[in-house]
Amino acid sequence: MAMEMEKNRGALNPAPTGESFRNLIKALPDIVYVLDGAGRFLYLNDAARSIGYDPETLIGRHFFALIHEEDRPRVSREVVVARIRAQDHFPETPPKLFDERRSGQRMTRELEVRLIHGATGQVIYCSVNAYGEPIVDPVLRVMFKTEGPVTIGVIHDITAAHLYRKSLEENLASKEIQLKEIHHRVRDNLQVITSLAHLREMDIAEEKARRSLAELIAQIKSISLVYEALYQAEDTRGAQVRDYFERFARLMAQSHGRVGFPVTLAVEAAEGFREADKLSFMAMIASEFVAAAYRHDFPAGGEARIVISWEALSDREILTVFDNGTVPPAEARTRAGTGTEIAEALARQLGGHIEEPAGPGTTMRLVMPPA
């Protein structure tokens, strides 16, 4: 009976104060460290061995012993605070520090820093969470051998994730270079076709045939211009629509000329990016609209004006070509010939349709689903 009571009493008695907590911290797979106010190690758990260090040999040493020399000025409180004081203003976003002394919302979270492996010298990419902690718990005072405020941090090895992300970025950069080369080659090939068409144009005597071929050349040039814009673009989203149509308008003015009267060709387009396929279809349709506008009669003695506009709304995109000509709608469609049919076929490829709203002048409108 006495032996059983003694056994039960032993089961009820906990381990020595702080022993369970100490064992838990020691067994964690991530590195747990504690720094004093000067940035010297007071404690590291056994996970420090995974990066080539015996925890005991680091006690009393500055945390710089672990940090890559290029990262030290960026993560040291002493260096960063001195730099901020020299600038005479505090940054809007608090800096992330390895020897953090703040807690709560201002504590350091997900600080990426490079460590040096103690045995191999290899670079290890890590994520650090750290905060300031005043030591009031007697267990922690004994464990960390200090009574002053400390920095407590956790280091998580993200080397595999970092290298994978870097590999993806390098592959993406390579793909972007290849894509630019494709845009460059397509543009060059279209320019060759344009040159051949110009040679054929010189051999054609019949004016109507020459006019048709000139419009076809303008179509090819407008597509070539798409790939030139994409080749020059720095943004992976495609070409800037407004910039493209401003260049497109200059091209159309050169291709169609005065046609017996001066024509002002203006662009009113919103900001936005579009990829090659959609912009090519839009360019071909706009080219048909502009070619039809140049065939219209304009007010005698007045300004002949053609306006290309594009806007992207939440539920649709609208590309419009307006001219202030005096041709009735029915006659305008007749003069457009097969151009309207071509535009309608291209619009269907975009999932859109062509509208010809009534009003002064002539308006041709392409309505498409949003990107």
- Beta strands 273-274 and 304-312: pairing type? unpaired
- Beta strands 41-44 and 353-355: pairing type? unpaired
**pLDDT for 10:** 47
Q: Does pLDDT of 14 surpass 60? A: no
Q: Which amino acid belongs to residue 235?
A: D
Burial class (CB within 10 angstroms; exposed 0-12, middle 13-18, buried 19+) of 167: exposed
Contact 102/132 with Cβ under 8 angstroms?
Answer: yes
Q: Does pLDDT of 85 surpass 60? A: yes
**pLDDT for 331:** 66
**pLDDT for 204:** 80
> Per residue in 212-249, pLDDT tens?
777 777 777 777 777 777 776 666 677 888 988 888 88
Give the relative orientation of helices 329-336 and 276-294 as an angle to the nearest 10 degrees: 110
Model confidence at 12, in pLDDT bands (50, 70, 90)?
very low
Domains of the chain listed by start with CATH number: 11-157 (3.30.450.20), 165-368 (3.30.565.10)
Span of 3-12, 74-83, 88-97, 292-301 with lowest mean pLDDT = 3-12
Q: Does pLDDT of 177 surpass 80? A: no
Span of 72-86, 163-177, 242-256 with lowest mean pLDDT = 163-177
> Per residue in 149-171, pLDDT tens?
889 999 999 998 888 888 888 87
Give the C-alpha separation, 277 to 106, whole Å.
47
Model confidence at 260, in pLDDT bands (50, 70, 90)?
low
The per-residue pLDDT of the chain, averaged, comes to 81
**Helical residues (DSSP H) of the chain, grouped into ranges:** 2-12, 19-27, 55-58, 72-75, 77-87, 138-144, 159-202, 207-232, 241-256, 276-294, 329-336, 338-349
Give the C-alpha separation, 182 to 189, whole Å.
11
Q: Decide which of 58 and 287 is more confident.
A: 58
Span of 17-21, 205-209, 234-238 with lowest mean pLDDT = 17-21
**pLDDT for 261:** 63
- Chain CA centroid to CA 354, Å: 33
**pLDDT for 330:** 64
**pLDDT for 15:** 47
Contact 368/350 with Cβ under 8 angstroms?
Answer: yes
Model confidence at 68, in pLDDT bands (50, 70, 90)?
very high
pTM of the shown model: 0.51
Q: Does pLDDT of 40 surpass 80? A: yes
pLDDT winner (highest mean) among 12-26, 141-155, 245-259: 141-155
**pLDDT for 35:** 92
> Per residue in 290-339, pLDDT tens?
888 877 767 666 678 889 999 999 999 999 999 887 776 666 666 666 77
**pLDDT for 1:** 47
Span of 30-39, 245-254, 281-290, 292-301 with lowest mean pLDDT = 292-301
> Per residue in 91-100, pLDDT tens?
777 889 999 8
